[in-house]
Amino acid sequence: MPEDLSIYGGWPACGEIDIMELLGQEPNKVYGTIHYGNPHTYHGGSYTLPDGKKFSDDFHVFALEWEPGEIRWYVDSVLYYKTNDWFSRSSNEAFDYTYPAPFDREFYLILNVAIGGNWPGYPPEEANYFPQRMEVDYVKVYKRVGATYNEKVSKPAVDTSYPADARPPLSDGNLIYNGSFDVDDPNVEGIEGVPYTDYWQFLHLPDFGGDGTVENINNSIKINITKAGSQTYSVQLVQRPICLIKGKTYKLSFRAKSDGQRTIEVKFSSGGGDNGTTWIDYAVKTFNLDTEWKEYSYIFTMQSDTYSKARLEFNVGLSTLPVYLDDVMLVEYNLQDPNSIKEPLPNGNLIYNGTFDQGNDRFVAWEFVKSAVADATYQIGTKPEDRYFKTVITNGGSNLSDIRLVQSNIKIEANSNYLLVFRAKAFESSRLIKVYISDQNYTPISEVKAVTLGTDWADYRLNIKVNETLPTDLRAKLVFELGGTNVNVGIDNVSLKQVLPSSFISIQAEDFGTINNAQKQGEYVTFGQGGSAMFNVNIPRSGEYVVSYKVRTQQNSILKFSVGAVVYDAQVTPTNGQWSIVTDSVYLEAGNQQMQIMADNLDLDYIEISPNLIENGDFSNGLNKWDNWIGNGGSGSVTVANGQLKASITNLGLAFWSIQIIQGPMALESGKVYRVSFDAKSNSPRDIFIKIDDSTYYGHHERYVPLTTEMKNYTFDFVMDATRSDIRLVLGLGTMSPNGKNPLETAHTVTIDNIRIAEVSENCGYFERNVTEELTGGTTSEPQQFIGDKLLPEGSFDSPDSLSNWKWWSSAGNNVITSIENGELKVSVRSLGNDPWDPQIYREGITLVNGKNYKISFKARASVARKINIAIGKPLTSDPWFIEYMPKKTIDITTDMVEYAVYFAMNNETDTNAKLAIEIGKVDGFSTVPFDVYFDDIQIEVIDSIPQEPTQPVTHTQKVGDEIILDGTFDTGVGEWVYWSGDQWSGVSDMRVTVENGKMKIHLNSVGQQPYSAQVARKNLTLEQGLTYELKFKMYATKNTKIQVNIGKELTSDPWFIPYAPTTQFDITTQEIEYRMTFKVTNNTDIVKVVFEFGPIGGFFPPCPLDIYLDDVSLKVISDQ
């Protein structure tokens, strides 16, 4: 793997070389593979040992030879695969990174032994493959002696000729037939019943809930959508066959509108390929439509193998707003055509190859222009750190214009503002350069900016205003003038983006009208004690706004903001001399508003007021406007209490998205900076995953945020990379593995409040600060506790500080010593008093809330077996000294460390200073001294209910050996077995279930989006608490696939199912195999069902069409212990 994953945009574009991979079920075979590209592409080879030998029988030498233009794989000096065919490209760039990217920089080695994963699959829950080991004799890395390589190797040429079976382009080069919807040839098929739709198909897929009709209106298509469906492709307008040739670049253009604001997805794909099962996406882009006809376009390069039967899809599901289309055109496109205007890149950048790392020479799209009097050239390095443009000047001429770095044919609009960003330095000494936008004759059509470069790299941001009128035949250029001196210049990371109208209002502190007890310091204002400032702002419309303050604060700083009679207290904390961002939410009425800042002892740079794009971010209206989803192994609940969102989590699930809090859609614009801010805490410290995604689940910004047990505000900024109106904010609360931190406690509660997203002027980074919780809708003085809250953070005794809250008492006063030994609390007792509580250890200051249930748990052992008492109650300063909140519990402690648990209900008034006492005196007459008692993991946890202890031994009606499923052989048909093919929430599956030759046959044409969207089940089965069962079945399929089995109680409402056994996945092959799973029932005796699920599992989609055969299903009692 590469040392720096981010250079080419993360995996897989960063590249991965698998030198050797071996699967446990194929002990005689190894694989060598490379992964690369965007979209993800991989290829490789394999080597099989002869004569049935296994690689575990003896040592073997695995080797990789890696040269700039070729990679070769060997086993025992036998070459078994080589390749020179790869690429890497960012979705926001026009060209491939310079070959041999991504395999052109330092990688690091990994040796590991792994279990599970999509390849080769996940083992059964009860499988035990350990111990396992991989023995490595040596790892050696050589560099060939005396070899020299040309690091500017060229990518192998690709055959770009049209296949014989390809449909040719039309006379104007258009690969789309009847793109204007005006052809009606009786010999050509179109959409049935719709004139002038030859060559087009209309697909509405009931499997995904889509439906609609098409009509031709004045030679344009209108797609009426009656059911939006669950996917973008629930409703489609399609044309095929279209020939796309590997290595060629294409431009798609079309006109479109709707009756409101909505998005559509436009895709080129293999459409199932020749066999109907090969689905490859060649290019995908989402467009935002409104009520006006507009021309849309995008450019893409065919990176996959040439395919003559590709298809174009207009995917218009997920909304019932109609879509109008016309003038669809697909033509070959030359990105370097001197007569072509460059279309903006997907992120809005007008500059191609601004990072000088693309094309054959890393200089593609640029021009180096010098006058006759100048003598200069340029260079671009090959190592990642040297990939920037650098002049090599011998004679710079007499004018700046004698040497120019130019990019031509950029798309510029009159009377518009642009933001030019670049990184630059001067090498020998400081010097001046100029930069501007010109016409084709180098006549400026914008402001000319003069920039003085220092000798250190620096980032420059220039606002450039373009003239109000422009020539009609304009071919605009971005021009850097670098002549007039022999001092060399380095330039990198060039970006030019149009500045769209902003939604925020920025008030610079130096522009405040009236200030008191404050001093203007140039670009900021210093407020002393009792400082204030007045200013007026015209608010465009009434609503909730986000106020952002850029401040520098100290220990005694105060910041308040008032509008009229309403005062908002912005909570600030010391920033240690650094500038920081503080946000708050305010409600503002439309019109001119007089505002006031009241501040003590802080510096203020500016205030920005921006509409909050999040609705009900303070949860004052419950969960209105919010969605939550729990699944994929996650479990818990999401509620609102006292104006805060509470996610009570009992299982993290398999991915970050196993538990999600979601709001959307919202509209964000490319190139703009947005600020995300929220307050959060977790009673077990953990990370959460923040994702800004769209309806295709593509992440435009992602980050882990670390939560603590204290409420903090988290604020971070990001630059949006695309203009979209289907953006969602997703807070992922599932598992953070492998890159984030999971909580130590599985059952825990995450609290979230005051969520905001707003446009701002600059990207200030990431900030966090402690804040006071804002509790609403209840008595704020009443302590708030939630299921899963743990009340004793120091009970694990991991550090000396853990002893600070634990005390001891005895009448003797000197007979007890407490210490921490090996992470345990050690209590050494030399003598005893006359009572059980003499001596005792205790912990005070515990909050117990009336009506709550609690679990006291701890681990303990003693140097000699003895009894102890557990007491919890209210400490008093006089007789009776202590009021019990539960009857004392006597525990037998042995010499082995054992975990104990005690449960009680708090039926007294809420107490914020309750005392937990562990009595280690004369309990039940115990008097042996001296002795040592060891404690660990002492905890009090808030629980839902108190477990009921059985009053009599459990009796079972089922016996060991009893068969529970009596119709699992299918000899007489399906019996009581049923099947379910999904719904609009899970996705609909196309499946049929029959019995064939004494086996159940499950035929799948397609599946939904969840594992359970295609299933067969045996219901009405009784499982008894305390018994252990074994499920056995035989299964095979026509193609290798995955299934999973769930056993549990069916419910008629959310959560729909209570599991009685762990979800277990199985890899199904084309050979009939008997599979087994064993589980013990800990739930109450009840009626359950056994479910076999055939839908997508962990990203693996079954290779439909597919037949799966099930037989000999048995569920037996195997133990009553």
- Annotated catalytic residues are 16, 21
Please state the φ and ψ torsions of residue 675, each to the nearest 5 degrees.
-115, 130
Rounded CA separation 1046/698 (Å)? 30
List, in sequence order, every residue forming a beta bridge with 48; answer none if it has no partner. Answer: 29
- For CA atoms 993, 994, 1000, 1002, the dihedral sign is negative
In what order do the strands lie in the sheet containing 249-258? 210-216, 221-228, 323-332, 249-258, 294-301
CA 757 distance to own-chain centroid: 18
Question: 691 CB contacts (<8 Å, ≥6 apart)?
Answer: 656, 699, 701, 702, 729, 730, 732
Tell me which residue of 655, 654, 660 sits closest to 630, measured CA to CA.
660
Please state the φ and ψ torsions of residue 797, each to the nearest 5 degrees.
55, 45
Rounded CA separation 707/729 (Å)? 18
Rounded CA separation 638/752 (Å)? 11
Q: Report residue 731 as tokens.
A: 């807070």
To the nearest 5 percent, what fractions of the chain are helix, strand and coil? 5, 50, 45
- For CA atoms 617, 620, 621, 622, the dihedral sign is positive
3-state secondary structure of 656: helix
Tell me which residue of 267, 278, 303 sits closest to 40, measured CA to CA.
303
Give the DSSP H/E element, type plus range, for residue 916.
strand 911-919
Give the DSSP H/E element, type plus range, for residue 1023.
strand 1015-1023
Rounded CA separation 951/287 (Å)? 66
DSSP string, 539-568: ESS-EEEEEEEEEEEEEEEEEEEEETTEEE
Q: Are 481 and 448 in contact (CB under 8 A)?
A: no
Question: 850 CB contacts (<8 Å, ≥6 apart)?
Answer: 906, 907, 908, 909, 910
Question: 3-class secondary structure for 503-531?
Answer: CCEEEEHHHCCEEEEEEECCCCEEEEEEE
Rounded CA separation 1091/1046 (Å)? 5
DSSP string, 367-382: EEEE-TT-EEEEEE-S
How deeply is 542 buried, as exposed, middle or buried, from its count of CB atoms within 10 A (0-12, 13-18, 19+)? exposed
Q: For 341-374, b where at least 16 C-beta lie within 10 A, e where not — what string? A: ebbbbbbbbbbbbbbbbbbeebbbbbeebbeeeb
User: Residue 573 carries which DSSP code?
Assistant: -
